[in-house]
């Protein structure tokens, strides 16, 4: 497949640039090369930052109605080219064409919400006279853009997670430099193309393609970059947090999300929703289900239905409408998952279905009796593997859910309000889905986690708050009269 991006190169401050050094982009289905993008140098990133210093002034001075027009036009462009966007996501990544189409629609929505939220960047009045001696003061605060935002994104939602950085950054009047995942840079470049066509003034946006250690480091450590908005793995997130120094940081990291199924749940619904939440994007989904805690009296039925539905998932060619699940992002990742499953089986786990690898493909897999000290019981699997556990009651399910160093989303299936509220109060997560799996999100809600799952919240409105700074204004009045 050739895409226009392959010809245009990377987007540096409004210019399409090519470089001799290249990163080859492969389709994980058969390892065929799709195209090459520039492998940017540290100097390229320094140039992007220098241009963004001019861009941040242009961005801040853009009236809100113009930011809104640009964001709506970019959304319109994505909509007009939705098929090319979807094919690009499906080709360079793991998603099936159906999943990719869903991501394109969400990207359009993210950009449109960003346009809408641009008009709601409000301050508040401040009652200064709450303090004796300040009776003669009136004032309020505005919100101002932070300046230059460095955005670093992962491979698994290569378009919409980039839109979640670009949309709010532009809505809030910032310049933004995006470093997309090296394995999936094409969707991010297509989004730059959309903003280019939408009339975004040059210098406000760059998409620099290159390795995390070479160009990512420059972006993270540069003092002129005032905020790092990172989405990716815990290990990388921790490294970046240490390197970044004194700047704003937003961290959207991983998880090994729990789902609790109680005996009063609608069982058929719980099974199908949990299977779907476990294997979307071949399990490479930050809110994908990894651990399921099922109350003992319904455990056997749940396990039987869960395994039946998992075994029926059709795995194969991503571009076919009938395929439910594609490959993992590359063979190395599939081998990692394979080794984690082998470790668990070696320590006594039961493999109920799956457990087979073919190149980058790993079969949807269900394990039980996984020992606590297995890697797969503690870390994020980020692959198509689910662990089922019987539990006595809600108390035990909550304790086990909280027993890991992650806390992004959780799900609970119950028809009992008391149980739901118990879970709301005690689960250590950023989002809890009642009667759904952990795999639910809309783009206009606060999104993020606690513990090792991150710092701060995305979701357009929350991102805009993170990407702006309040500035307090106080008027001292000479002749304020007090009754």
Q: Which residues are catalytic?
A: 252, 286
Binding string, residues 3-42; x marks residues near ligand NAD by CB under 6 A: ----------------------------------------
Q: Is 331 in the site for ligand NAD (CB under 6 A)?
A: no
232 near ligand NAD, rule: CB under 6 A:
yes
Helix (H) or strand (E) holding 337: helix 331-346
CA distances from 74 to 154, 325, 462 (A): 22, 30, 21
Rounded (5°) CA angle 127-133-135: 45
Task: Give DSSP secondary structure letters for 133-158.
Answer: T-TTEEEEEEEEE-SEEEEE--SSST
Choosing from 68, 97, 225, 253, the residue that interacts with ligand NAD (CB under 6 A) is 253
**Which ranges of 62-185 would DSSP assign to H, the alpha helix?**
64-80, 82-92, 97-118, 160-171
Under 8 Å between Cβ of 251 and 456 = yes
Q: Which stretch binds ligand NAD (CB under 6 A): 100-108, 230-238, 295-303, 385-393?
A: 230-238
Q: Judged by CB under 6 A, which stretch of 24-32, 97-105, 231-239, 270-278 contacts ligand NAD?
A: 231-239
Give the residues across from 350 on adjacent strands. 368
Alpha-carbon distance values, 112 to 67, 175, 186 (Å): 11, 19, 22
Tokens of 267: 């069982």
Query: Do the beta carbons of residue 93 and residue 184 sit within 8 Å?
Result: yes
Using CA atoms, how far residue 81 sits from 76, 148, 434, in Å, is: 9, 29, 36
Q: What angle do CA 368, 370, 372 make, to 5 degrees?
A: 150
Nearer to ligand NAD, 364 or 454 (CB): 454
Of the candidates 392, 347, 413, the one whose C-alpha atom is nearest the C-alpha of residue 374 is: 347
Specify the residue, 256 or 419, whose C-beta has the smaller distance to ligand NAD: 256
Least distance to ligand NAD, CB of residue 471, Å: 29
SS3 225: coil
DSSP letter (8 states) at residue 201: P
Burial of 343 (C-beta count, 10 Å sphere; 0-12/13-18/19+): middle
Residue 286 touching ligand NAD (CB under 6 A): yes
Considering only 32-40, 95-103, 120-128, 178-186, which stretch makes contact with ligand NAD by CB under 6 A?
A: 178-186
Position 362 contacts ligand NAD (CB under 6 A)? no
The footprint of ligand NAD on residues 454-483 (CB under 6 A) is: 454
278, 289 in Cβ contact below 8 A? yes
Which helix (H) or strand (E) segment holds residue 296: the answer is helix 296-311
- Per-position x/- string for 66-95, each x denoting binding to ligand NAD as judged by CB under 6 A, each - no binding: ------------------------------
Of positions 88, 96, 153, 229, contacts ligand NAD by CB under 6 A = 153
Q: Does 257 bind ligand NAD (CB under 6 A)?
A: no
The window from 102-110, 139-147, 211-219, 303-311 that contacts ligand NAD (CB under 6 A) reads 211-219
Under rule CB under 6 A, residue 220 binds ligand NAD: yes
Footprint of ligand NAD on 182-201 (CB under 6 A): 182
Among 179, 247, 291, 457, binds ligand NAD (CB under 6 A): 179
Number of CB atoms found within 10 A of residue 434's CB:
15
Q: What residues have CB less than 8 Å from 358, skipping those under 6 apart?
A: none
Shortest spacing between CB 169 and ligand NAD, in angstroms: 16
Q: How far is the CB of 236 from ligand NAD (least distance, A)?
A: 3
155 binds ligand NAD (CB under 6 A): yes
Q: For ligand NAD, which stretch binds (CB under 6 A), given 13-21, 56-64, 107-115, 179-187? A: 179-187
Q: How far is the CB of 178 from ligand NAD (least distance, A)?
A: 9
Token pair in block for residue 185: 């840079």
Ranges within 394-453 binding ligand NAD (CB under 6 A): 408
Question: In the numeric block, which tokens belong to residue 216?
Answer: 């990512």
Instruction: Select from 137-145, 180-188, 304-312, 358-366 the region that touches ligand NAD (CB under 6 A).
Output: 180-188
Q: In whole angstroms, what is the distance from residue 279 CA to residue 282 CA?
A: 5
Residue 210 is classified by DSSP as: S
Q: Indicate which single residue of 90, 175, 181, 391 sits in contact with ligand NAD (rule: CB under 6 A).
A: 181
Q: Which residues bind ligand NAD (CB under 6 A)?
A: 152-157, 161, 179-182, 212-213, 216-217, 220, 231-233, 236, 239-240, 252-254, 286, 380, 382, 408, 454
């Amino acid at each position: 497949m050739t895409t226009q991006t392959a010809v245009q190169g990377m987007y540096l401050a409004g210019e399409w640039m090519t470089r001799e050094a290249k990163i080859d982009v492969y389709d994980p289905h058969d390892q065929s090369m799709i195209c090459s993008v520039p492998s940017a140098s540290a100097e390229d990133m320094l140039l992007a930052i220098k241009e963004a210093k001019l861009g941040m002034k242009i961005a801040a001075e853009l009236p809100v109605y113009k930011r809104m027009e640009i964001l709506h036009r970019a959304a319109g462009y994505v909509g007009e080219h939705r098929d090319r966007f979807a094919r690009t996501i499906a080709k360079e990544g793991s998603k099936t064409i159906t999943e990719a189409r869903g991501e394109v629609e969400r990207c359009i929505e993210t950009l449109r919400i960003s346009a809408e939220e641009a008009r709601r960047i409000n301050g508040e009045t401040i009652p200064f006279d709450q303090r004796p001696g300040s009776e003669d003061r009136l004032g309020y605060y505005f919100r101002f853009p932070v300046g230059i935002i460095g955005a670093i994104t992962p491979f698994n939602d290569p378009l919409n997670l980039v839109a979640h950085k670009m949309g709010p950054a532009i809505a809030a009047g910032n310049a933004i430099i995006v470093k997309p995942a090296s394995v999936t840079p094409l969707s991010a470049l297509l989004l730059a193309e959309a903003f280019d066509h939408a009339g975004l003034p040059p210098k406000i946006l760059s998409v620099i393609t290159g390795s995390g250690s070479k160009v990512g480091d420059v972006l993270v450590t540069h003092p002129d970059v005032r905020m790092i908005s990172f989405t990716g793995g815990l290990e990388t997130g921790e490294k970046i947090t240490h390197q970044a120094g004194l700047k704003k940081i937003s961290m959207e990291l991983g998880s090994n999300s729990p789902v609790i199924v109680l005996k009063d749940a609608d069982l058929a619904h719980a099974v199908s929703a949990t299977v779907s939440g476990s294997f979307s994007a071949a399990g490479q989904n930050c809110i994908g289900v990894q651990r399921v805690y099922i109350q003992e009296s319904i455990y056997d039925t749940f396990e039987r239905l869960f395994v039946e539905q998992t075994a029926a998932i059709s795995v194969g060619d991503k571009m076919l409408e009938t395929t439910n699940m594609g490959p993992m992002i590359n063979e190395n990742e599939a081998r990692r998952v394979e080794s984690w499953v082998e470790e668990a089986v070696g320590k006594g786990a039961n493999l109920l279905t799956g457990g087979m690898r073919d190149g980058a493909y790993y079969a949807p897999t269900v394990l039980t009796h996984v020992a606590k000290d297995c890697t797969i019981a503690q870390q994020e699997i980020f692959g198509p593997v689910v662990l089922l556990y019987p539990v006595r009651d809600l108390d035990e399910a909550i304790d086990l859910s909280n027993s890991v160093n992650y806390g992004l989303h959780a799900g609970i299936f119950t028809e009992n309000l008391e149980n739901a509220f118990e879970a709301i109060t005690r689960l250590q997560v950023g989002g809890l889905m009642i009667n759904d799996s952990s795999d639910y999100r809309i783009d206009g809600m606060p999104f993020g986690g606690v513990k090792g799952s991150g710092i701060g919240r995305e979701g357009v409105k929350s991102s805009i708050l993170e990407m702006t700074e309040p500035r307090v204004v106080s008027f001292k009045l000479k002749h304020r009269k007090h009754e």
